[in-house]
Chains A and B, each alone.
Chain A
Amino acid sequence: MKIIFTTKGNTWDSHMDPRFGRAEMFLVYDDSNDTLQEVLNSETESMEHGAGLQTSKKVLELNADVIITGNGAGQKALEILKSVDAKMYVGAGDMSVKEAYDAFKSNKLQLQF
């Protein structure tokens, strides 16, 4: 299973970024081979408009099964994300990446879709 976290750093101890569209970066965790990959999102943060759509595109390209974030995606991004078979979990904005992963594993995060 591939999980995308929206984060502010590249380790398990980094803070989650509660934002989806303008998230600083993603960490992609693949539990089949226990790897953590960093994907920068800085060019999206500096867009005037349309950050959510651009980030959704990137998420689709990464082909994840689960997305974990804080506040969730906005309406336009949701329309795109719903077209694929991924699940988005919200409410992890105040956690570290590790805490967010544990919360997800123990079903403590809310499902946005």
Chain B
Amino acid sequence: MREVVVISGKGGTGKTSFSAAFSYLEGKNAVVCDCDVDAANMHLLLDASFDNQKDFKSGELAIINPDMCTNCGECFEVCRFGAISKEPNFHIVDDISCEGCSYCFRVCPFDAISMKTQKAGDIYTSDIKNGAKMVHAKLGFAAENSGKLVAKVKSEAKILALQEDKGYVITDGSPGIGCPVISSLSGANLVVLVTEATVSGLHDLKRVYELTQTFNLNVVCIINKYDLNHVVTTKIEDFLIKEKVEVVAKIGYDENFTKAMSLAKTIVEFDIDCELSQSIKQIWEKIKKRLQD
């Protein structure tokens, strides 16, 4: 089992479109894993069934036992989030404002406060339209993606891939270079960087590339929408040559991506014969070849 992680630094470069297309091409031999949980949308392209739900627990919430509360107000004094308010006979915590920092829990002289683990969202193992399996998550209101959630989603996907003897795990990472991205990179056999010909595309490519190199990861790059700005594309290519990163494809701006998306289809399913789909097939073959080296 080999794992490919698709990331970009900048959002909107085409990560999910490419990952979904790779997954569609590889069919049942791949488990797909959507780690971009803040803005999960891959399930739309792959028609996920939302089966096999599991709770995802993360973060804590303070709870004041009104029977033990003496209304001394020490918790109110220390709360930095304005989450505690005074009732006539006891204090009370507002669920939404509480950040779970445990300060009140530590200062309460009467042990009237307890910390309770919160449910932050749901993790699903779904069937998708090409007969393969996908692991993904849905967050609750005001919950945020974390390294913990990504690690959980990835570990479910890997266990599934090993149990069912699949060839690949295809992971769609999240934008940025923070904790969830670092977590999505862990254990990757190959990282596919997707960039685009914009100033921020190049800037964020450099940042995320640097991150992959702290972990000594193998990387290849796809330059998407290269014809938007030839000057930037040249700069991107110069950077990649200097860093000895293989460019597996340069893809022009193509409205077929958007057309396919509006029909909730991956591009290779929308029109397998179009130039774009053919390029994506070649990219996937190149990636698989790199994974065997």
Contact = CB atoms under 8 A, between A and B. Distances in A.
Interface residues of A, number: 25
Majority DSSP secondary structure for residues of A touching B: loop
Interface string A69-82: 01111110010000
Given A90-B216, A110-B216, A112-B216, A48 B187 contact: no
A22 B147 contact: yes
B147 A71 contact: no
A51 B148 CA distance: 9
B148 A47 contact: yes
Contacts of B147: 22, 47-49, 51
Interface in A41-63: 45-52
B216 A22 contact: no
A91 B216 contact: yes
B214 A72 contact: yes
A45 B187 CA distance: 14
A46 B148 contact: yes
A29 to B, nearest CB: 22
Contact of A72 (B58, B59, B215): B215
B217 to A, nearest CB: 6
Given A19-B187, A48-B58, A71 B217 contact: yes
A70 B146 CA distance: 22
Interface in B7-33: none
Contacts of B58: 48
A95 to B, nearest CB: 13
Interface in B125-148: 146-148
Interface of B: 58-59, 146-149, 151, 179, 182-183, 185-188, 214-217
Instruction: List the 8 shortest-distance A-B pairs measured between CB atoms, nearest first.
Output: A71-B215, A48-B146, A19-B186, A18-B187, A48-B148, A49-B179, A22-B151, A90-B216
10 contacts: A19-B186, A19-B187, A21-B182, A45-B148, A45-B151, A48-B59, A48-B149, A49-B148, A72-B215, A110-B216
